Structure formats: C-alpha cells, structure tokens
Amino acid sequence: MSQLPEELENDPTLEAADKALEDEENSKPSRTYLGMSSIGRPCERELWYSFRWTQPAFFNAETHRRFIDGHMGEDLQATRLRKVKGVTLKTIDPGTGQQFGFVDLGGHFRGHLDGDITGLLQAPKTPHIWEHKQVSESKFTKLVSLKEKHGEKNALAKWDETYYAQAVMYMYYGDRDRHYLTVSTPGGRITTSCRTDRNNDAALRFREKAKKIIFSVEPPARINDNPSWYQCKMCSYNEQCHGNRVAQPSCRTCVHVTPKSDGSDGVWFCEKYGCEIDTEHQRKGCRSHVMIPSLVPFAKPVDAGEDHVVYSFNGKTFINGQHGKNSYTSWELYSVNPEIIGNDVVEQLRNECNAEIVKG
C-alpha cells in the first residue's frame, strides 16, 4: 500500500467535483424573463444586462452549492410545516399542476412563489404567501436582531430589499394580505420566521421599475460611476459596465429586436424581418445582428444606417454590421481585442482570406 503524503494542499477529487458542478449548472440556459425574485436588487443596469443576456451567466461552485442548499431547504421546511396540525401548505397550483406563478408586462415579468399557507397558529384564519430562504449564520442573526428592534412586520423591509420586493409583489399578484417567510441557516438547522403586511404602493413602484427595465432600449444609469464601489466591484457585469467588454451577441442585444408589451408569452419581435422570435433563435441571433451601440463600450458611435452602425476608435472608424469593407460582425466585436481593430495585417487577412476574428 502506498503511503499517504504528509501534506496535500488541495483535494483533486473535490476540485473535480466542483468543476463538474460548475460545468453542469453554468451550461443551463439563462432565464427568459425578468424575475419578481430579483426586482428588488439595487442596480437597474445589472437587471437590464441580465434580461438582455449581455454575457453568459457564470457562478462558481460555492455559489451553486448555496443555490442547491436553498432548494433542498425549501422542501425540508415544507415537510416540517405540514407536520403541524391545522396547517395547510400548497406548493402546487391545483389549477395548473405547476408551481404557483404570476405573469405581467407582456409575459416578460414573472414570479414563482414557494407556496400558499393557511392555519398558522399565530393567525389561523388568515391565508399567507409562503416563501423560504436559506441564509448564512450572520445574515440569519441580523434578521433576528431586526425583529427584536423594529418588530416582526417591519423587519423584512429593513433586512433585505430584494426579499421584501419579492414578498410585496407576490402579495399584490396573489391577492393576499400577509406574507410568511421562514428563514433557516445552512442545512435548515436553525429556523426563524417573519410575517409582513401587504403594501400595494411598494408593489406598484417595483412594477414600474420592472416596466422601465424591460422596455428600455438602452441600459439604465449605473448605480455608481466608480468600478470599485462596493456594489459594483463584485458585480458580474463590472467589466462590461465600467470597462471595454462587448456584449454577447443574441437577438436581445440587437438593435432590430424589441420585447412586445401585449400578450402574456414574453414575445420578442424583429423589426428587420417582421417576425416574432422563439427562445432558441433569440439565443443564436443571426448574421444580420447589429449590436446596441451602448454595448460596444470601447468605441463611439458616429453614424448609422438600417443595417449597420459606424464607430470611431483610436482615430479610426469601423462598422458593425454586414456593410462591406472595414465591417465587423457582432461576433467579431465580442471576440476582438479592440487594439487590433484597423491593424493592417489583420485587415489584409480578413479581406483577402475572407477570415473572421473568433474568440480564443
């Protein structure tokens, strides 16, 4: 039998498990709508970037483990609540056989709640929207402290704006006057709760925020112009928002495509081809893609036509779109180091060999 090494800084098996988790979870397609669960996040620009699929979503293994713990914790807590005599917890809509859900703003704004609960011992006759969260020990302790300081019904708004927005949206769309939030530490070991009153005024403010984000052609203003600002430096879109990273091409980043406000199916419409675009084609885009100019942050737009935008950069001009010489596709702009745009050797290869720049 071989000897175990005295020191092993890393566990290759666990590293491989983390890599497999990241590969599996990050390969899943992006959400097709703006979620009521995220509308309370402070930066409208971040939400717009996410809704427009401006870059592939990526989370590390630790973050995915937190997500998984949250999903498992929800099922565990539902089981525990159902053991209480008199409590009725519904997590599936009997009318659809699916999770309870709400749809608004042409189907582009959606929410899926954990459940609808009645028979709480502290309010036996009042139906409540039920949500469960699994949080860190420090965040859990903060909620307990806020309940003691401000009272249970004021604690959620002071504890977490995102969770509060989700609660008031679900009460508004679900026509409930109370929200019952259960909160556990990782693994569901310690649990507390928080009941919150309906607030239609707040719900309508968040709805207007969602409407602005969904139907805005351009990204909203930054939450702060300093990339080192605490809310910016950890943001997934920092390099795109504050730097020179070009957006990922898809129909949602194209000047020709807009979300429709009618119906409930979340329809996107291409003005160039006069057609609705299904989700599969939205993700792929097409060769006529022209990037929304603000998503090419390293250059300044100076002119435009129906099928192209002209940019100025480093004293030279280039074109995004299929528009002859010195034109770059959106995929090339997404892939290119801006400093090589206009380089004589690169341009010769592109023109003589009909070559394209691809991401390495």
DSSP string covering 108-155: TEEEE-SEEEE-BTTBTT--EEEEEEE--HHHHHHHHHHHHHH-HHHH
pLDDT interval class at 341 (50, 70, 90): confident
pLDDT interval class at 324 (50, 70, 90): confident
167 and 258 fall within a common domain: no
Is 98 within 8 Å of 66 (Cβ atoms)? Answer: no
DSSP-derived letter for residue 54 is: -
pLDDT interval class at 230 (50, 70, 90): very high
Average pLDDT on 3-15 reads 75
Q: Which of 16-25, 210-219, 323-332 has the lowest mean pLDDT?
A: 323-332
User: Which domain range does residue 285 map to?
Assistant: 246-352
Distances (CA, A) of 53 to 40, 84, 320, 337, 360: 19, 43, 19, 21, 21
pLDDT interval class at 6 (50, 70, 90): low
Last residue of a domain, one of 196, 214, 232: 214
Which residue in this structure is represented by tokens 């427009």? 52
Is 72 within 8 Å of 65 (Cβ atoms)? Answer: no
54 and 195 fall within a common domain: yes
| In-domain check, residue 339 | yes
Closest CA to 139 of 181, 80, 186: 186
199 and 253 fall within a common domain: no
| In-domain check, residue 240 | no
DSSP-derived letter for residue 274 is: T
pLDDT interval class at 181 (50, 70, 90): very high
| In-domain check, residue 90 | yes
Q: Work out the percent of the chain whose per-residue pLDDT is above 90.
A: 80
55 and 184 fall within a common domain: yes
| In-domain check, residue 226 | no
| pLDDT at residue 9 tops 80 | no
Tell me: the pLDDT tens digits for 126-146? 999 999 999 999 999 999 999
What is the overall mean pLDDT for the chain? Answer: 93
51 and 100 fall within a common domain: yes
pLDDT of residue 5: 61
Q: Which of 4-8, 28-32, 201-205, 251-255 has the lowest mean pLDDT?
A: 4-8
283 and 189 fall within a common domain: no
pTM: 0.92
The number of distinct structural domains making up the chain is: 2
| In-domain check, residue 281 | yes
pLDDT interval class at 30 (50, 70, 90): confident
pLDDT interval class at 349 (50, 70, 90): confident
Instruction: Specify whether the backbone of 188 is left (phi greater than 0), alpha (psi in -120 to 50) or beta.
Output: left
Last residue of a domain, one of 166, 194, 214: 214
Is 171 within 8 Å of 129 (Cβ atoms)? Answer: yes
Helical packing angle, 152-159 and 137-150, nearest 10°? 130
Closest CA to 288 of 262, 336, 323, 259: 323
Is 286 within 8 Å of 321 (Cβ atoms)? Answer: no
| pLDDT at residue 1 tops 60 | no
What's the CATH number where 117 sits? 3.90.320.10
The full DSSP string for 328-356 is E-HHHHHHS-GGGTT-HHHHHHHHHS---
| In-domain check, residue 5 | no
For residues 286 and 269, what is the distance between their CA atoms, to the nearest angstrom? 14
87 and 186 fall within a common domain: yes
201 and 283 fall within a common domain: no
255 and 166 fall within a common domain: no
Residue-wise burial string across 23-53, b where 16 or more C-beta atoms lie within 10 A, e elsewhere: eebeeeebebbbbbbbbbbebbbbbbbbbbb
83 and 171 fall within a common domain: yes
| In-domain check, residue 136 | yes
256 and 204 fall within a common domain: no
| In-domain check, residue 231 | no
Tell me: the pLDDT tens digits for 247-280? 999 999 999 999 999 999 999 999 999 999 999 9
254 and 297 fall within a common domain: yes
